Amino acid sequence: MPLIPLHDANPRLYIRAHYVTIALILINALIFISQLGIGDGQRFDAVAGYAVVPARFFDGLEVPVGIAGVSSPLTLITHQFLHADWAHLAFNMLFLWVFGDNVEDALGHVRFVVFFLLCGVAGGLAQSIVEPESVTPVIGASGAISGVLGGYLVLYPRARLLVLAFLMIPLRLPALLVIGTFFAQDLLWGLTNAPAALGTAVWAHIGGFIAGAVLVVFMRNPRVPLWHKPPSPW
């Protein structure tokens, strides 16, 4: 990942605190921590029934006997709160921390919850439609958080971000460039099938991003303008 976001110069204007963003981070972290004490095989069984498995939607694949789980439609929600490892969790929660508060500010607490979940659903559906025969479980909040990025881009394309380039170079760049780079990378990987080798559900990112960019237009507080340039101390 060439750019890692660390902070944005974009103060909240409509809410006092970003309770939902903080709650989502805590919930994801607690669910992951709760799985640490079990072996790999048991952990796979513990998440398999709650992950999105495209073949369950399109090929009638059943969850193996003895594995707890939920119905296929519900996995579009539950998969958003499962992560493969510490790095997967940490990067997702970092992005949510940096970008989530301003999108929550623009939508309000309740609508942000709905927005987040809908973006995750869109991501899970997109991955399933592109790879309908796949039996690989899809987990993670990446689709939902990509939706947050899409929403942020539509709201604040000119906000200034502090990012770490190539793990060592601090830069201040506009959100349009940073988020645009992430989306372009995902689109390139999706069109070239690179994620097959990387183990990344990149179409979940793409589907979530597009959903977020569209939904935020209709779900935002009417007082919040689109394409806004927030005051920046940088």
Q: Which single residue is written with the structure tokens 């990942």?
A: 1
SS3 label, residue 32: helix
Over the chain, what is the mean pLDDT?
89
d(CA 182, CA 149) in angstroms, rounded, equals 9
For residue 83 the two structure tokens come to 């992560």
Average pLDDT over residues 38-59: 76
Query: What percent of the chain has a predicted confidence (pLDDT) above 90?
Result: 69
Among 88, 195, 104, smallest CA distance to 141 is for 88
pLDDT of residue 66: 47
CATH superfamily assigned to domain 3-219: Rhomboid-like (1.20.1540.10)
* Rounded-to-integer distance, Cα 67 and Cα 84, Å: 18
Predicted TM-score of the model (pTM): 0.92
pLDDT tens readout for residues 110-156: 999 999 999 999 999 999 999 988 888 899 999 999 999 999 999 99
How far is 170 from 3, CA to CA, in rounded Å? 9
